[in-house]
Structure 1
């Protein structure tokens, strides 16, 4: 995989080198390790029911796509499937190695979709749908983009959208000089109640991102738009079907926190 994709191949090569060098060291000390293992075998053995042996299967498989920033290529040629995940632990390990969106070139995208659904408007699962989209101010710090995208991916793969999970197709992170975007794609643009609930929960998820308080000024709202509408020129100037203000959700959270704090004080 080239350095344009989600994982830096140089880092992988370096890690393999480290693994091989550490492996040779272990071989040199075979006698010592064997003696220690015999002496402390019971103490250091990992139990069968240990969390270290446990798998964390996802309810849905997820495909991660990367859209290369090469405008000389056809759009479909630029789109590459990076990985398919079915285990949450494996997914988190991948995120720790993958390039965050802030280091990708302008014009690149990350797309995380349920297995079998491609990040294309004309896909059968997407064609009648829309997206809840948040646009960051172009002056926003890279850190907040990375944290928000990671928080959203973990929420989706962990099925945190509860009864609305089946209405979600995937999520997209667009790297743009005018302001990067994060969005959730849904199946049915006409289901206003569900789409509004997903937009609200998207805001709540993003408000969990580390360091979000100091970056809240860089985004104001999540707007919902149909894919058919978004495909039109100057779609951003059209009125959204749904608009959820981040400040309103944050104020509700603040009130709940104050009430809970007062309740604890009274008790």
Structure 2
């Protein structure tokens, strides 16, 4: 029996609305959506996760049913937080989500946030899959 180094282990935590599938299983409700992605320094993920869950429960985003869920991926060198929404081409809503994320997480103005549609994400994943 061999133990893996802790540097090779990663974890993904997600919270999605009831009935929605996530990650690699696009759901009808979010197939035309996208996600805001924030790359985090180590040590920030647990606080940011708590803040974003509370903001979602408290309906601070003020976008109705537009938010599908949130994912945090704990990795070796950095952590990744993403918040998923239903409609990628609605600029007003995606901007409101971005601005609320900045406020709720108290992000510095120079924080880089990337928006990626689910279609673009699926293209990236499928182009990097190798079958053996």
Whose strand fraction is larger, Structure 1's or Structure 2's?
A: 2
* 1:191 has 2:90 as partner: yes
* 1:118 has 2:54 as partner: no
Q: What is the TM-score of this pair, normalised by structure 2?
A: 0.78
Flag the structure with larger Rg: 1
Q: Which has the higher contact order (CA 8 A, sep 6+)?
A: 2
Q: Given the alignment, which residue of 32, 37, 42 partners 1:133?
A: 37
- TM superposition shift of 1:165: 3.0
Number of equivalenced pairs: 118
The CA distance in 1 between the partners of 2:83 and 2:9, in whole Å, is 20
The CA distance in 2 between the partners of 1:114 and 1:200, in whole Å, is 21
Q: Where does the alignment leave 5 or more consecutive residues of structure 1 unmatched? A: 1-102, 235-267
* 1:230 has 2:121 as partner: yes
Q: What is the TM-score of this pair, normalised by structure 1?
A: 0.40
Secondary structure of the equivalent of 1:116?
Answer: coil
Q: Where does the alignment leave 5 or more consecutive residues of structure 2 unmatched? A: 1-5, 126-132
* 1:151 has 2:51 as partner: yes
Whose helix fraction is larger, Structure 1's or Structure 2's?
A: 1
| Residues 129-174 of structure 1, C-alpha deviations (whole Å, 9 max, x = no match) | 10011111xxx242x2111111001100111112x03111111101
- TM superposition shift of 1:178: 4.2
The CA distance in 2 between the partners of 1:189 and 1:220, in whole Å, is 21
Match of residue 167 from structure 1: 66
The question of whether the paired residues in 1 share the 8 Å contact of 2:55 and 2:104 is answered with: yes
Change (3 A) 1:157 1:106: farther
